[in-house]
Amino acid sequence: MRTVIQGVVAFALALPAIVDAAGIPESLPWVVGALAVAGGLARVMALPSVEALLDRVGLGLVEQGGNTTP
């Protein structure tokens, strides 16, 4: 689940570059909406409270006890 969330965030961060590379006008309503959602999602995922929530549901970056080995 964590990988899916990270994939969505990575896509959200790359979306402006994808739009530029594809030559799609940024004035199209769906592009504007997608960019707004992508930016919002990236900002939300960067919040410490979101990371704390992910930790509580078992999707955090570090396991309990600091053991990071797979």
| Gap between the Cα atoms of 38 and 40, Å rounded | 5
pLDDT value for 31: 75
In the structure encoding, which two tokens stand for residue 26, read together?
Answer: 């940024």
Specify the higher pLDDT residue, 1 or 64: 1
pLDDT value for 65: 56
pLDDT value for 28: 79
C-alpha pair distances (Å), 14 with each of 45, 54, 68: 15, 23, 28
7-66, pLDDT tens digit by residue? 777 777 787 888 888 887 877 787 778 777 777 777 887 788 888 887 888 776 665 555
C-alpha pair distances (Å), 27 with each of 19, 22, 23, 40, 54: 11, 14, 12, 18, 35
